[in-house]
Structure 1
Amino acid sequence: MNAIGTADLCDTFAADVQVCAAQFRMFGARRSFSGIIQTVSTYEDAGLVKQCLEQPGQGRVLVVDGGGSTRVALLGDRLATLAIQNGWAGVIVLGAVRDTEVLASLDIGVVGLAATPLRGSLDGAGSMGAAFQFGSADFAPGRQVYCDADGVVVSAQPLSDAYDGVQDASAY
Structure 2
Amino acid sequence: MKTTCDLYDQYGDQLRVVPPLLNDFGARTSFYGKAVTVKCFEDNSRIKELVNTPGNGQVLVIDGGASLRCALFGDVIAKEAVENGWAGVIVYGCVRDKAMLKTIDLGIKAIGATPRKSTKKGEGQVGIPVVINGMPCKPGDLVVADEDGVLFADPGLIEQ
Give TM-score, length-normalised by structure 1: 0.89
Structure 1 segment 13-92 matched on structure 2, within 5 A: 13-92=11-90
- Is the Cα–Cα contact under 8 Å of residues 34 and 58 in structure 2 kept in the other structure? yes
Secondary structure at the aligned position of 1:74 is classed as strand
Identity %: 39
Q: Which consecutive unaligned segments of at least 5 residues does structure 1 have?
A: 162-172
Secondary structure at the aligned position of 2:93 is classed as strand
Secondary structure at the aligned position of 1:84 is classed as helix
Q: Equivalents in 1 of 2:48, 2:142: separation in Å?
A: 21
Q: Deviations over 1:119-151 (max 9, x none)?
A: 101212110111122333221111100001111
Secondary structure at the aligned position of 1:81 is classed as helix
Residue 122 of structure 1 aligns with which residue? 120
Q: Equivalents in 2 of 1:117, 1:134: separation in Å?
A: 22
Residue 150 of structure 2 aligns with which residue? 152
Secondary structure at the aligned position of 1:13 is classed as helix
Cα RMSD after superposing both structures? 1.1
- Is the Cα–Cα contact under 8 Å of residues 143 and 157 in structure 1 kept in the other structure? yes
Q: Equivalents in 1 of 2:10, 2:64: separation in Å?
A: 31
Q: Return the index of the structure with the highest Cα Rg.
A: 1
- Is the Cα–Cα contact under 8 Å of residues 4 and 160 in structure 1 kept in the other structure? no
Match among 129, 135, 140 for residue 138 of structure 2:
140
- Is the Cα–Cα contact under 8 Å of residues 38 and 130 in structure 2 kept in the other structure? no
Q: Equivalents in 1 of 2:38, 2:8: separation in Å?
A: 26
CA offset at residue 18 of structure 1? 0.8
CA offset at residue 155 of structure 1? 0.2
- Is the Cα–Cα contact under 8 Å of residues 19 and 136 in structure 1 kept in the other structure? no
How many residue pairs get matched? 159
Q: Equivalents in 2 of 1:97, 1:56: separation in Å?
A: 22
Residue 105 of structure 1 aligns with which residue? 103
Match among 128, 131, 137 for residue 129 of structure 2:
131
Q: Which runs of 4+ in 1 moved over 3 A?
A: none
